[in-house]
Each structure stands twice: as C-alpha cells, then as structure tokens.
Amino acid sequence: MKKLKNISKVISASLALSLVLAACSDKEEGSSNNSGGDKDEKVTIVYARGKDDTQGTKAMVEAFEKENPNIKVKFKEMPADTGKQHDAYVTAFNANSDEIDVIDLDVIWPAEFAQAGFLMPLDRFIEKDGVDLDAYNEGALSASKFKGKQWALPKFIDAGMLFYRTDLVGEGEVPQTWDDLLAKAKETKGQGGTQFGYLLQAKQYEGLVCNAVEFIASYGGKIIDENGEVKVDSPEAVKGISKLVEIVNSDVVPQNVTTFAEPESHTAFINGQAGLIRNWPYQFALANDEKQSKIVGKVGVAPLPSGDAGSAAALGGWMAGINKNTKHPEEAWKFLSFMAGEKGQKIDAIKGGHAPTILSLYDDQEVLEANPYFKEEGFVNALEAAVSRPVAPNYPEISDIIQVQVSSAIAKKITPEEAAKNMQKEISEKLEK
Ligand code: GLC
C-alpha cells in the first residue's frame, strides 16, 4: 500500500507541476435515444485508438460486448503515431463528424480538446452511475479535467522504462548509467542472435520528445519549470541532449533508428534483435506474448539509466473521452466506463501490460501475476521519477519545436548548445502568445 501511495503522490505532483471509416455510428435496427437496454435493438458505436499490438484492446472489447449484447463496438484503428492520431481527430472533430463515438486521448491532449469543444463532459454520467473518482490515481484524473469538468477518464499510466533480455544481461549487470548502457549494449550486440545493442524511439515525432525529456531530466535539466518558465537553455539540458545525440549516433543502435517509433522498436525487440530497449510498460506483455514474441520469459524491467542527476522517466498515458457529436452518448458512456473502470483496466493490465490508473489493481493477484514488476522497486522508482511534458493549450506547437531542434542536433546540423538555445527562444515565443 505504501508503494501505491507513492505512485499516486508522485504522479499527481508531477502532473500538477507542469501542467473515419464508413459511418458506423448507426443502429442496426430501429432507433433508440438511450441505453442499449432495449432487447430488440443493437447499437453500433465506433471506438478509435491507435493500433494496439497487445491483446489488451481486443480482450476489453470482447468482454464488454459479452456483458452488453445490445452494443457492438466497431474498432477504428488510428495511426500509431500520437501526433498523426491527434491531427486526424482534430480534422474530424473540426468538421463536426459523428463517425467516431469514443476515442482514446493521449495525456497531452485533454485541455486542447476540451477547449476546442470536441468532447462531451462526463460529469453527469459519473454522477448518475456513482463512479468513485477517489479510486483513481489523482494525477491521471486531474490530467483529464479542465475548467472544473471531467472530459475523459484515465485508462492507463505510461512511464519510460528499460527492458532487457535476462539471457544477455545478468542479474546485477543491469546498466545503471547511460555510460553503463552504452557499454552493455556494445557487449551484448551480436550475442544470442541480436543485431543491435539498444533500441529507442529517435524518429522526429512525439516519442522523441519523451526520450529527450528523459535524457534532459536525468542530467538535472528542465524544459519548463514549476512556474511555467522556459529553462531549457541550461548546461544540464545540454548534457542530456548531448548524451541522446551520442547514443543515437553510436553503433549500438540500428543505423536507421531515426525512423524508429514504438512499433519499429518493439518489433525488433520481440524478434530478438536487441538486448536492451527503452519503451513503455506494454512492452512487457508484448515480449511475453507467445503468439508474436521470440523472447517469452526472457525479459527484465528496470528504471532507465541515470545521468548526473539520476534516472528519469517521461510521464505518458491514455484516457477515454466521448465525441460531443455522438448519436449514442449512453452507449458510448457504457463502453468508456467499462474500459476505464476496474474490469476493463484489469483486462488491459493482464492482456496488454498497461499500468492501471485504478490504484486497487496494484493489489490484484492476477494483475501482479501477469506483471510481476508492478510490485518491484524498479517500477515504483520509474513512476516516482516520471516527468511531465510541458502542459500548454498549444502543446503541439511546443512539441514541434522540440522535435525539430532535437532531430537537428541528432543529425549534427546544429550542436546540442544551439538546440537548447533555439528551443529556449522559440518555446518562449509560443508561450507568450
Ligand atoms: C505513449 C505515451 C504517450 C506518448 C506517446 C509518444 O503512448 O503514453 O503519452 O505521447 O507514447 O509516442
């Protein structure tokens, strides 16, 4: 229980700090105004999220449909890249589309989506069903609130972690610092059928921002401080960016690692191509999925390596919300509250390896059996170090600046110092608006 409190406290503090598929939203028969309770009617709702390579989403949808035979959930697969996914929703919702009923939102979107009026507030549903909001991790819950209203409910928390092959990296050999990581990656590269030493996400997209945040924070740097001031032009941030540039340009990563997002990196890892990878918690379930992984039972988890200031994980996570223009608010809510509720989160933790936002699930035997590391120090430490990305209504613009500058430093078009200076100037200008 102590651990749970830690997780809750830290994530909440961390968040507080920085803070169209042919239309399917149709009833198959008849028409109804509310719940799928009428036995003669079957309502189809469309649920959109990025591709889920784990079994989590499929298992949740199946369980929901079994419990609610009058509601069919049609899955709409969105781009895996969160930025591209974001843009697709913005386009659809700006056009007042009602094609999608329920969406998953990245932790960086709720304020923007709420302000843009894309979502339906959930407060009346929450009240009607007596949903116990105290059961949720405080930080994750507050990230889905905006101007006093609850626009989404959190489904899972993400924090960047180090996953390693236990057949290549012995107990007591897990890299503690970024330099240890480089050495271990060099040593294990080529062993046990591997081609690479280390995998990360270095493509120019949101995942690179998360990796950069981790490097910068592990050297004591910040992009924006507690008071909302841009602080990225600092020796600490430059050290972090320099280490990222060094690793991405080293020979332990794939030569084309600047084209790697999560899918490319997790695929290489589960195919047995590398001994070490930085990824989110779902990596554990995926690596132990007998249907797709060649490394079942050979995966360990640890906090990311430390820089001068310690280990730092970027804070991520996803929540579910309802399209304001849905024709099926009641059915959409039923599905959303199932996914974000205890039953859905339990299934997703077991089948998808996702870290729940409902705290009692960290005491659930089946959840812990599937994810033994949820009770380990390493996991708690990673969550404890979780660092939020800047919270701003125009976050996508800030993210773009970071993506461009860090990518230019990686490509050695500019130095890490120049990248930090440029970010300082450009982010400050954006925040002033
Ligand atoms: C994960 C995180 C999300 C982040 C994304 C970056 O999905 O949960 O918050 O933006 O990765 O690729």
29 Cα–ligand 1 center, Å: 38
Quote the number of domains for the chain. 2
pTM more than 0.75: yes
3-class SS at 385? coil
Say whether both 282 and 428 belong to one domain. yes
Say whether both 174 and 110 belong to one domain. no
Say whether both 304 and 246 belong to one domain. yes
281 Cα–ligand 1 center, Å: 11
- Using CA atoms of 284, 289, 292, 296 in order, give the dihedral in degrees to the nearest 10: 70
Say whether both 353 and 401 belong to one domain. no
205 Cα–ligand 1 center, Å: 10
Q: Which atom of ligand 1 is nearest to the CA of 317?
A: 8
- Range of the structural domain that residue 114 is part of: 2-158+316-387
Is 316 close to ligand 1, i.e. is its CB under 6 Å away? yes
> According to the model, what pLDDT value does residue 392 have?
77
Are the C-beta atoms of residues 279 and 266 closer than 8 Å to each other?
Answer: yes
145 Cα–ligand 1 center, Å: 19
Is 82 close to ligand 1, i.e. is its CB under 6 Å away? yes
Say whether both 37 and 94 belong to one domain. yes
Is 317 close to ligand 1, i.e. is its CB under 6 Å away? yes
Q: 414 Cβ partners below 8 Å, 6+ apart?
A: 405, 408, 422
Say whether both 49 and 153 belong to one domain. yes
Is 280 close to ligand 1, i.e. is its CB under 6 Å away? yes
| Helix extents (H) in 249-353 | 262-270, 282-287, 329-340, 342-352
- The enclosing domain of 228 has a CATH number of 3.40.190.10
Say whether both 143 and 164 belong to one domain. no
109 Cα–ligand 1 center, Å: 11
Q: 420 Cβ partners below 8 Å, 6+ apart?
A: 232, 233, 234, 237, 238, 241, 405
Instruction: State the DSSP code for 276.
Output: E
Task: For Cα atoms 58, 59, 62, give the angle at the middle one, nearest 5 degrees.
Answer: 85
3-class SS at 195? coil
Say whether both 304 and 331 belong to one domain. no
432 Cα–ligand 1 center, Å: 26
For ligand 1, atom 2, the nearest C-alpha belongs to 316
Q: What is the pLDDT along the chain (433 residues), one digit of tens a residue?
A: 444 444 544 444 444 443 333 334 444 443 444 444 455 689 999 999 999 999 999 999 999 999 999 999 999 999 999 999 999 999 999 999 999 999 999 999 998 999 999 999 999 999 999 999 999 988 889 889 988 999 999 999 999 999 999 999 998 999 999 999 999 999 999 999 999 999 999 999 999 999 999 999 999 999 998 888 999 999 999 999 999 999 999 999 999 999 999 999 999 999 999 999 999 999 999 999 999 999 999 999 999 999 999 999 999 999 999 999 999 999 999 999 999 999 999 999 999 999 999 999 999 999 999 999 999 876 866 776 689 898 777 899 999 999 999 999 999 999 999 999 999 999 999 986 5
Instruction: State the DSSP code for 34.
Output: S
Say whether both 304 and 328 belong to one domain. no
For ligand 1, atom 1, the nearest C-alpha belongs to 316
DSSP-derived pairing of the beta strands 71-78 and 43-50: parallel
> According to the model, what pLDDT value does residue 38 have?
53
Say whether both 216 and 358 belong to one domain. no
Say whether both 109 and 34 belong to one domain. yes
For ligand 1, atom 12, the nearest C-alpha belongs to 207
354 Cα–ligand 1 center, Å: 12
Is 107 close to ligand 1, i.e. is its CB under 6 Å away? yes
184 Cα–ligand 1 center, Å: 26
Is 333 close to ligand 1, i.e. is its CB under 6 Å away? no
Q: Which atom of ligand 1 is nearest to the CA of 261?
A: 12
> According to the model, what pLDDT value does residue 299 have?
96
> According to the model, what pLDDT value does residue 433 have?
59
Say whether both 61 and 92 belong to one domain. yes
